[in-house]
Structure 1
């Protein structure tokens, strides 16, 4: 009888253990390679809350613990996470089609200026990848991932340990670049581009490995760069970082979801794009003001520097077309560039009204109406 009770207790314990494991397995794991409290981590926490409130899914976010930024694409592919914050420029060959669009991000800060260029570029990338680029979706499938849009940063500035006031000051500097177009900007004006992940910028600046980082102002706090920055030059190189999949889903996980659950994911993704884009916009303004208060010099570049930078962007279109054709083997690149360029102008028009970019719900609705509502969750990324 004692043996029977012992076996029964063991079986019960095993059953409870298996149930706990099953419950844990049923919780979707979200990897974001930014620290807790960052705009991206907060955005994905809100994403998780929305999914849980509107479906039977459970979601847990792991800020800077499950996978770092460099590890996320392969980790998501291999199922270490169910959802991940993917930065496509870290893997230029694997995401070449998507990176073509991201490489054109400097267009969003040339010509007509809009109050939230990141919100405009996020819309252009979302519409391009999901509605106009089957090749983009195919390359995500090869990585065992499903694309649900990507937020974009505010305009790129120079965070430096030495002041950059003129183009002459750029020459000879070692400048961190997170994407190929920004690297070409640095080299065009006589600097040396240094390609390192965002998580490594702090150490590189503190140890003098780089003189500047081309990155958006929110990263002063998101990546704690306020502590190692002495000078900030605004509006150059310009452009935004648009090479992201802020809520890419492991494809095996996606295929297990019902159409109703996928629709909730679409809704959450639209809100996520608005949350991160506008959080970045608000945080950029606050960080610049805080930097001034801390004694960091904030420099407005001279007109000739801005003019030269805009001329570079226009001339770089041919370089981008040649590079993505010859180096990555993309087809019909000029036509794709024309499509992306037109979408950038379209979304600049859609977001030029400050009322849209001051209202998260209005911006999320814009993403929904223009893109997500036109995609069938029952069939998207299932073939």
Structure 2
């Protein structure tokens, strides 16, 4: 096997977010570029990478299957996009389950994170970087703060369980990946959209929004958006190459958390400059959303499979330990 990899391997990294450079742009694209440069350096050119931003290699929803079958080397992708193929993946965008970066990042070494890693490994995936992002709500009309504020509106949630939350609150749900939100907001096909703070900025949703609810005061929308490698590809690498991939991935998690927090604050200034009304999520509103989520979204997730039930149990145990 070693001889087959004697020549430098050029691996492809796909994501749906706007492209930039190591120094500027959407931090998820920056992270991919930083990862590529550092792993290439550590492997002395044994591993090289090509970055494909903006869904330029394949559609966002196609990435999970391509990773599983070895047709794609790596992707930075919202895990909940895989929910139709692997229901356990929706634990990565479960409304009100993760409400802080500290809680989300603690999953990695907690029983819930170890179980999720095991499930993904069986699905043919290796989690290289654990990345969590808080999200807010861009609205074409009034601010969306409390559950009753979405009644009668067309809203994008981002996962099956987030959609159930919105339905229970009286909204009409519209499904789409984050890179399609801008066009839908412009056309009126969407009244409001929940997405990460970084996507609220990078996809320029402020151009069609009159209000923004930020995650500065907390969030019920926390997305697990890892950098992953195909297990098939990972197992072809030499042990030193595998070690380099995992070491760099882990080291970049601190950058991701800092950048995500920075975007939670920066998004308010971007939208205020465009004239949007800015509100912050608060503890009272967060409790209301959690109450709605527990009623059906959490329950239905736990009933979908034994794996889902176990993940939810372990996640709730992690809440109790905080």
For Structure 1 versus Structure 2, the TM-score category normalised by the shorter chain is 0.7 to 0.9
Over 3 Å counting, the alpha-carbon distance change for 1:262 and 1:313 in structure 2 is same
1:44 corresponds in structure 2 to: 32
Equivalent residue for 1:257, pick from 220, 227, 237: 237
2:220 corresponds in structure 1 to: 239
1:63 corresponds in structure 2 to: 53
Deviations 1:276-315 (A, max 9, x none): 2321110221121222122111024687644422322443
Over 3 Å counting, the alpha-carbon distance change for 1:169 and 1:342 in structure 2 is closer
* Secondary structure of the structure 1 residue equivalent to 2:306: coil
Is contact 2:14–2:74 with CA below 8 Å preserved after alignment?
yes
2:314 corresponds in structure 1 to: 339
1:76 corresponds in structure 2 to: 67
Tell me by how many angstroms 1:242 deviates: 2.9
2:271 corresponds in structure 1 to: 291
Partner Cα separation in structure 2 for residue 345 and residue 337 of structure 1: 12
Tell me by how many angstroms 1:191 deviates: 0.9
**1:4-153, aligned counterparts within 5 Å?**
26-36=9-19, 37-55=25-43, 56-64=46-54, 65-99=56-90, 101-104=91-94, 106-109=96-99, 117-118=100-101, 120-124=103-107, 127-128=110-111, 131-133=114-116, 136-141=119-124, 145-153=125-133
Unmatched tracts of structure 2, length 5 or more? 1-5, 20-24
Over 3 Å counting, the alpha-carbon distance change for 1:333 and 1:220 in structure 2 is closer
Is contact 2:82–2:89 with CA below 8 Å preserved after alignment?
no
* Secondary structure of the structure 2 residue equivalent to 1:268: helix
1:248 corresponds in structure 2 to: 228
Deviations 1:195-249 (A, max 9, x none): 11111100000000010001122212222212222211245993233343x3211
> What is the TM-score with the length of structure 1 in the denominator?
0.71
Equivalent residue for 1:266, pick from 246, 266, 271: 246
* Secondary structure of the structure 2 residue equivalent to 1:107: coil
Higher helix share: 1
- Number of aligned residue pairs: 307
Partner Cα separation in structure 2 for residue 72 and residue 104 of structure 1: 21
- Does residue 1:163 correspond to 2:153, yes or no? no
Is contact 2:201–2:270 with CA below 8 Å preserved after alignment?
no
Over 3 Å counting, the alpha-carbon distance change for 1:133 and 1:168 in structure 2 is closer
Partner Cα separation in structure 1 for residue 307 and residue 60 of structure 2: 31
1:11 corresponds in structure 2 to: none
Partner Cα separation in structure 2 for residue 169 and residue 128 of structure 1: 36
Unmatched tracts of structure 1, length 5 or more? 1-21, 110-116, 350-383
Tell me by how many angstroms 1:106 deviates: 1.6
> What is the TM-score with the length of structure 2 in the denominator?
0.83
Over 3 Å counting, the alpha-carbon distance change for 1:284 and 1:219 in structure 2 is same
Partner Cα separation in structure 2 for residue 205 and residue 277 of structure 1: 28
Tell me by how many angstroms 1:194 deviates: 1.1
Over 3 Å counting, the alpha-carbon distance change for 1:197 and 1:296 in structure 2 is same
Over 3 Å counting, the alpha-carbon distance change for 1:260 and 1:300 in structure 2 is closer
User: Between Structure 1 and Structure 2, whose CA radius of gyration is higher?
Assistant: 1
Is contact 1:32–1:63 with CA below 8 Å preserved after alignment?
yes
